Every structure is written in structure tokens, then in C-alpha cells.
Structure 1
Amino acid sequence: MGKQLKRYWGWVDWFVLVLRFLWFMLSIFLILNNGQIQYVGFILSWALLSYAIPQLFYLPGNVKPSLFVWSEIILNWSFNILLMLQVPDAVNHFTISILIIVFLAPKKLFMFLVPIIFIIFPVVVTLIVDQYSITDILLNSSIFFAFGFCFKVFFEQKNRLTTLVASIEEKNKILEHYNHQVEHVTLLEERSRMARELHDTVGHSLTASIVGMDAVRTLIKEDPKQAEQRLIELIQFNRNTLNSFRSTVHEMSMNELKLPLSDILQNVIRDFSEQTGTEINMDIQRVMKNTSESTKLALLRCLQEALTNAKKHGHASYIKVTLTFYEEFIQMIIHDNGSGTDKLIEGFGIHGMRERIEGVRGNLHITSKNGTGTTVRCELPYGRETYGTY
């Protein structure tokens, strides 16, 4: 009966609170401004109890509908009956209470509420106040019962729809994550396949070349002309092998490096933010310039390692990435609000990041302090490569 619902209040809950408070203030005003009411202190105390006790079961994060309904019926209605004995016009105070009770009542309580509202309540009121007929009481009760029930159905449907939308969004995120994993596995399988092809092609070609060169070495003394012909065939064979090797390497090249540097980094940031729930902002300063693929790759790996360390070791909730295009070099700064450390130890990941940055003539600086997070600064020249820049 006292099942607790932990939820935040919406505007309708505050509306109910305002209705109950207005009812309470109206009751107090009626009591204080009616000179015929006896035992004013007792009635005022009962009014306060009839308002405060049910409200204890209807608080933000602590809603107990059944307890609220029964305490409202027992305390509020008994107060109104007590008030009607001295002020017959107070019968109208029941209407707001009926609306709120119907709106909050669990479905299992309706088998009790219907006879109470439409049988017991009208009979009791007509016995106490002769000037009201059962028809009038039933009409007022029906109107506010209908209002409360309509509100109840509307917000139940709204909550179901909100829950359904949230469930669909959650499943979409799971599906996106699954698709990402499938793409990653497919990429790994493709790279593994290409690696096997390289191994088989290069190994077979080198073996054939070695055997052919051994034969040429034997033929040089015995039949120089045949040896020369055989050497020409070996040269052509190796040229064909080299072309095949270049074609395979070209297929294995990272297509993502064909994108602009800002798009590459934004893709990494977006994926990492979605997967970890970390807030990441990227700020691009000055006009973006052409960048070699080796520089793009170095910055990409640096960003991936920095983001991973910020979340894994620093438990950061916010990361800012600043990319600045200077005249002679690119600077990328990654700062997080993680725990930081006064004793930074360069592990395998940072060591690999430093080697990659220095491999393209760049510089890597990492500063960290306990309680203030970590800052990673990469500075690389733009670089030039024979196959083009982007």
C-alpha cells in the first residue's frame, strides 16, 4: 500500500502542491473570518494536520501514492466534515481534494475510491447539510473525478511515451556501438588478410628471386648469354613484384588520413565522447593549413593516447582540445580536469607517443599536477610528402 516512487517533480506536481496550499489558506481564511465557528484553535490545528501529514507522502523523490490517498481521505475529509457542521458552505472544499486523490491514486485503489466518492461521501454530506441534495453532490464529485482521471490518463501516457523514447534512444546507442565494433572487427580482419597477402606475395617473390640469382651465378661462367637472358627475366619479375607490392600497400593506407586534420580529430573526439560520456570541446585557432599524412597520423595517435590517459588514469569529466596553426608548426594542446599527479611516470603509451611525435621532427611536453589535471602539448612541423598534402 505504501509503495514508494522515486522521481523528480514535474510542473503538474507543483501545480498540485499549489492547489493544496490554496485550499489550506482558504480554509484558514474561512475559519478566522467566521465568528460563528466554535473551538477555533482545535479546528485550526486539525486543518494544519490535514494539510501537512498527507503532504509528507508527496514530496520530490519520495512519493507514496497509497499513503497519501488514505491520509488525505481520513484527515482532509474529516476536517471538512467538521467544518461543514458549523459552516455548511464548506462542502465545496471537497472538490479539490477529489481531483488530487483521483490523479494520484494507484489503479488498485479505484475499487475503493468509487464507492467512497459516489456513495459514502454524498450520503454523509446530505445527512450533515440538509440544503444540499445527493444529485448536486454527485454532479460536483463526477466533474472533479473526471478532471482528475483525465489528468491521470494524460500524464501516464506521457510518461510511457517518454520511457519508450528513452528506451529507443538507448537501443540506438547500443546499436551504434555494435556497428562501430563490427566496423572495427571488419577493419582488423581486412588488415590481417592484407598482411597475409603481403607475407605470401613478398615471401614467394623473394624466394623465387634468390633461386633465380643462384642459377644466374652458376650460369655466368658456363653460359654467359643464357645467364644474361635469365638476369633480364629476373629484373622484369622483380619489377612486377614491386608494382604488386606498391598496389597492396596503397590499399592498406589509411583512407581517413585523406580527410582534413580537423575532421580527423573531430571524429576521434566525437566517438570517444559518445563511448565514455566525457564532455570534450575542440577549439581551432587561426586558418587551417595543408598538413602531411605523417603529421596527421602523429597528431591523431597523440590525441587518442591523451584522451585515453585522461579518462583511464585521471578520471576526467571534461577535456579541452586546442588546435593552433602557426606559420611554421602546428600546436595541439589537450587539457583535462582529471586528478593529475605530481609524479608523472611515462609508461609504454606515453613513450610510444613521444617516439611518434619526435619521428616527424616534433616536440612533446606533458605537465601534470595533483588536483589540477594534466596538459599534453604537441608541436609538429607541417611536413611535406611526395604523394600530396591535404
Structure 2
Amino acid sequence: MVPFQNETHWVYKIAQLTRIGWFILHLLIVVLFLNPIPLAWLNMTLLFAAFLIPQWTNSSGRKNYPLLELFFSGLFLIVGCYLLGKYSSFLAIPSLCAGIYSRPGKERWLLWAGFTIVPFLAILAVGLNQLGMGVIDGLFFFGVGIAISKVLEAEKKTKVLLEENNRQNQLLEEYAKQIESITLLEERNRLARDLHDTVGHTFTSVIMGLDAVSFLMDASPQKAKEQVGRLRDVMRRSLEETRTYIHQISPNDDKEDLSSQLRKVANEFASHTKTEIIFKSNGAPVAISFQGAIALTRCLQEALTNAVRHGQANEIVVTLNQEVSQVILVIMDNGSGIKEEKFGFGLNGMKERLESLQGSLTIKSGNLVGTVVTCFFPVRVERMRGENLQDDQSIDCG
């Protein structure tokens, strides 16, 4: 057996210390009581062999330790009982240690049978009149050792599972970060294309319109003035759209919480459109993924735009409810409402964003009664990895 201080699990350390003390006790018994009898040197030799050989073998590999413990400790028990003339319970601790270090499989059950038979052989060496409770030493203590060994095996399996779980959590964490980076890149690319198309289309229209104005200035100054006014309106609308796109490129670059981000979007929309927007936030801030923040931000922007553009609303109430397991964003306006729920490009985009994150979008409206848009988003629980780490620290299987 290896030195006990090199063992990493306290069960193995206690087993080794108990075994060492057990052999020291029997060494004293041999010296004090068996030394005068014939062949005492043989018994002393067998005692040292029973102590040292299994221990030395276990220091290089535990595979054969239980078998060697059975052979040498059993031999010492049989010879010692024969020389002493009475039965001894020497095999108790060696059989316990052998059971603790035994490995699963058929070999374990054969060893158990061996530790059960050896005491009977010792009884036969001293006479059946010595038959008593001592004969169950091997049977009972090796069984206890097997039970302890099974507990240690289950503990090791649990540790392996926790380590694998933590490894998978780390992989998922890295994967989530990669997804966030890809999502951000795709979002910026999409907005860049939209911005390019919007600005390019507007500038082309304005340039063609200005070319027409240059011909109308001499022929029809009044029509030229009207054309300039229309071009001014086009440029004003294009400027507002460009500002919106620029704001959407990186709404989450700062480290604000979700409530602050959505409040900023609502306040900017209110200042641009002169619409009264009341923003309410309920619950403590929760950490959500980048994709979730992007989805809710886009949904709020689309809902506000629809409320003003299609519903002619002048008052909008935005309510953000943050809970441990979910986030619910409700946008309620006092506009003209819609006669029938019809998902266009914008609403379909909102719905697809939320559904891709296991969320949902619901719209309730009626003619002249306003519209209520509800965005549901489940919160990803981030505490699992920390709990697993705490569980992992509580297990020490060597």
C-alpha cells in the first residue's frame, strides 16, 4: 500500500492507517505471546510478508492487492491459529481494506468467497470446537469494504459527470459568444445594406429631381419652386430614416441594462415624432443574451413606428416586465387600431426574431380601439455553471 500521505481521498488514508495499526498490534502479540512456542520465527516471517508484500504491490498498482492480501494474510491466519491453538480475528481489517480496494467484476465476488472460506480453514486447523462468530470476519468485513468501494465508485462517476457537464457548459458559453458575434455582424451587414439602399435611392431621386428643376427654372419658376419643396420633403424623410439606421447599427454597444436601452429608444422616438410615450419598468434588471436584447429593441422600434405611421397614435404606453424566467414587453397605443390582424414585412420580422429565441409575439386590436403588442422572451438562466462548480468543489474522490 502506498504511504497514506500520498493518498488523495480520506477513506483510503483511514484504511491504510488502520491497517498499519492493526499489523503493529499483531506484531506485539506475536513477540509477547507466540515467541516461546515452536516455529515462532515462521509466524513472524509470515506476518511481515502479510504486511509488506501487499503494501509494496499496491504502491506500484492496486490491481493485485486484494488477491495478495487474501493469500498472505490468510496464510498467516491459518498458521498462527494452528500454532496458537485458538482462533483469532486477524483477518477483519485486511479483508476490509481488500474490499475497499477491490474492483468491479467477477474478481470481486471470487475474492469475497475466498475471504469467507479462509476463516473456516483456520477453524479446521484448531478444531471445530473453536467455531464461533469469528468465522464471519472475512465475510462481513469484506462486504463492508465492497459497500465503501461502491460508494467511492459512485462518487467518482458523479465527479466525472460534473466535469463533463462543466466542460459542456464552457463549450456552450463559447458557442453563445460566437453566435453573438455572428449575430452582431449579420445585423450590421443588414443595416448597412438597408442604409445603402435608402441613401442611394434617395440621392438618385433628388439628383434627377434637381436636373428637372434646372430646366424648369427658366420655363416655369413656380413649378421649379414646387419641385424643390417636394425634394426638400424627400430629403427630410431620408434624413430621419438614416438617423434611425445609424442608431440601430449598435444599440447595445454600451453596457446599459435592458430597461435603459429600451427607454432610450422610446425617448428618441418621442423626440423625433413629437409623440407622448410613457415608459414603465417593473422588476429587477435581468441579464439576457445579446440576441434577446436586439430582438426586443427591434420589436419596440417596429411597434412604435407602426403605431404612429399606421395608427396615427399620439400617446403610447411601453411597459417592460422583467422576471427571473421571462421578459415581457407590452406596447399599447391610442391609435385607430386595425380591423384585422395582418402580418406584413415588419410584423413578420418581429415574430421571426422572437420565435427564433423561443419567444412569441401577440397583437390585440380592433377598429378605433388602439393596438396592444406583447413581446414575450424567455430568460436564459446563467446560474447553472456556478451551481455545478459549487457541487464539484464539495466532492473529493481522489
Mapped to 1, the partners of 2:191 and 2:7 lie a distance apart of: 55
Mapped to 1, the partners of 2:129 and 2:160 lie a distance apart of: 45
Mapped to 2, the partners of 1:68 and 1:220 lie a distance apart of: 108
Residue in structure 2 matching 1:143, options 131, 140, 144: 140
Q: Higher relative CO (CA 8 A, sep ≥ 6), structure 1 or 2? A: 2
**Using a 3 Å threshold, how does the CA distance of structure 1 residues 150 and 250 change in structure 2: closer, same or farther?**
same
Q: Highest CA radius of gyration, 1 or 2? A: 2
The answer to whether the 8 Å contact 1:36/1:86 transfers is: no
Structure 2 match to 1:53 = 53
Amino acid at match of 2:185: L
**Using a 3 Å threshold, how does the CA distance of structure 1 residues 177 and 252 change in structure 2: closer, same or farther?**
same
Structure 2 match to 1:16 = 15
Give the Å deviation of 1:103: 2.2
Amino acid at match of 1:53: I
The answer to whether the 8 Å contact 2:82/2:122 transfers is: no
Residue in structure 2 matching 1:96, options 81, 85, 93: 93
Mapped to 1, the partners of 2:86 and 2:192 lie a distance apart of: 91
The answer to whether the 8 Å contact 1:31/1:37 transfers is: no
Query: Is residue 202 of structure 2 the alignment partner of residue 195 of structure 1?
Result: no
Structure 2 match to 1:264 = none
Structure 2 match to 1:25 = 24
- TM-score norm. by structure 1 comes to 0.58
**Using a 3 Å threshold, how does the CA distance of structure 1 residues 226 and 42 change in structure 2: closer, same or farther?**
same
Give the Å deviation of 1:89: 5.5
Mapped to 2, the partners of 1:225 and 1:212 lie a distance apart of: 15
**Using a 3 Å threshold, how does the CA distance of structure 1 residues 258 and 64 change in structure 2: closer, same or farther?**
closer
Query: Is residue 248 of structure 2 the alignment partner of residue 251 of structure 1?
Result: yes
Query: Is residue 167 of structure 2 the alignment partner of residue 170 of structure 1?
Result: yes
Amino acid at match of 1:16: A
The answer to whether the 8 Å contact 2:120/2:135 transfers is: no
More displaced stretch, 72-81 vs 83-92: 83-92
**Using a 3 Å threshold, how does the CA distance of structure 1 residues 85 and 159 change in structure 2: closer, same or farther?**
same
Structure 1 match to 2:330 = none
Amino acid at match of 1:54: P
Give the Å deviation of 1:135: 4.6
Give the Å deviation of 1:68: 0.6
Corresponding residue pairs, total: 250
Give the Å deviation of 1:258: 4.5
Structure 2 match to 1:109 = 107
Structure 1 match to 2:358 = none
Give the Å deviation of 1:206: 1.4
Amino acid at match of 1:78: L
Structure 2 match to 1:376 = none
The superposition leaves residues 9-64 of structure 1 with CA deviations (integer Å, 9 ceiling, x where unpaired) of 311111111122112211221222224245555544443332222123434xx642
Mapped to 2, the partners of 1:91 and 1:214 lie a distance apart of: 117
The answer to whether the 8 Å contact 2:116/2:136 transfers is: no
**Using a 3 Å threshold, how does the CA distance of structure 1 residues 143 and 114 change in structure 2: closer, same or farther?**
closer
- TM-score norm. by structure 2 comes to 0.57
The answer to whether the 8 Å contact 1:126/1:133 transfers is: yes
Structure 2 match to 1:186 = 183
Amino acid at match of 1:11: W
**Using a 3 Å threshold, how does the CA distance of structure 1 residues 17 and 203 change in structure 2: closer, same or farther?**
same
Give the Å deviation of 1:203: 1.3
**Using a 3 Å threshold, how does the CA distance of structure 1 residues 251 and 109 change in structure 2: closer, same or farther?**
same
- The unaligned stretches of length 5 or more in structure 1 are 1-6, 261-390
Give the Å deviation of 1:110: 3.0
Amino acid at match of 1:242: L
- The unaligned stretches of length 5 or more in structure 2 are 1-5, 258-398
Mapped to 2, the partners of 1:89 and 1:173 lie a distance apart of: 63
**Using a 3 Å threshold, how does the CA distance of structure 1 residues 22 and 123 change in structure 2: closer, same or farther?**
same
Structure 1 match to 2:214 = 217
CA RMSD of aligned residues (A): 2.6
**Using a 3 Å threshold, how does the CA distance of structure 1 residues 184 and 151 change in structure 2: closer, same or farther?**
same
Mapped to 2, the partners of 1:8 and 1:193 lie a distance apart of: 60
**Using a 3 Å threshold, how does the CA distance of structure 1 residues 122 and 42 change in structure 2: closer, same or farther?**
closer
Mapped to 2, the partners of 1:174 and 1:54 lie a distance apart of: 44
The answer to whether the 8 Å contact 1:209/1:234 transfers is: yes
Structure 1 match to 2:202 = 205
Matches within 5 A, 1:265-284: none
Give the Å deviation of 1:88: 4.5
Amino acid at match of 2:15: V
**Using a 3 Å threshold, how does the CA distance of structure 1 residues 141 and 46 change in structure 2: closer, same or farther?**
closer
The superposition leaves residues 195-218 of structure 1 with CA deviations (integer Å, 9 ceiling, x where unpaired) of 111111111111112212222222
Query: Is residue 224 of structure 2 the alignment partner of residue 232 of structure 1?
Result: no
**Using a 3 Å threshold, how does the CA distance of structure 1 residues 216 and 103 change in structure 2: closer, same or farther?**
same
Query: Is residue 64 of structure 2 the alignment partner of residue 75 of structure 1?
Result: no
The superposition leaves residues 213-258 of structure 1 with CA deviations (integer Å, 9 ceiling, x where unpaired) of 2222222233222222211211121111011000111111342414
- SS of 1:36's equivalent in the other structure is coil
**Using a 3 Å threshold, how does the CA distance of structure 1 residues 150 and 205 change in structure 2: closer, same or farther?**
same
Mapped to 2, the partners of 1:81 and 1:208 lie a distance apart of: 109
